[in-house]
Amino acid sequence: MYSNFKEHAIGYVKQAVQKDDAGNYSKAFPLYMNALEYFRTHLKYEKNPKIKEAITQKCMEYLKRADEIRAILDNGRSGPSPSGDATVASQPKTKSKGGVGKDAEDLSKQSLGLALIL
């Protein structure tokens, strides 16, 4: 059952980058996550090793950016700072009891899942 997973992922990435560039991180984060999910599914069916490697590299970039956005959102910011600088924490803060920290935990699990696919 091979579908248009890659095309769906690309659509989500385009939207995510657009929201990210506009500073709308709260909307960009779930779009990046949806794109990663579709790319991960596509990688299961991709036979060409060069294409698989290229997609995996892009996924790692998108995952890193989603991780940075998650850190920004966890720090309570939803857009760029008034001074225009883009200081970003290196790791997202996770909370032990449900809530917002669950997304960061899911992100970590997803990155592990991408690494296992390789």
Alpha helices in the chain (DSSP H): 5-21, 25-45, 49-74, 101-117
Cβ atoms of 42 and 58 within 8 Å: the answer is no
105 contact partners, CB below 8 Å, separation of at least 6: 94
User: Picking from 10-19, 45-54, 69-78, 100-109, which range would have the lowest pLDDT averaged per residue?
Assistant: 100-109
Average pLDDT over residues 14-40: 96
pLDDT of 21 > 90? The answer is yes
The model's pLDDT over 64-105, given as tens digits with 9 standing for 90+, comes to 999 999 999 998 865 555 444 444 443 433 343 444 445 555
- The helix/strand/coil state of 70 is helix
Give the count of beta carbons closer than 10 Å to the beta carbon of residue 28.
23
Q: Could you tell me the fold of the domain covering 5-77+88-117?
A: Methane Monooxygenase Hydroxylase; Chain G, domain 1 (1.20.58)
Length of the chain, in residues: 118
pTM confidence score: 0.65
Cβ atoms of 105 and 74 within 8 Å: the answer is no
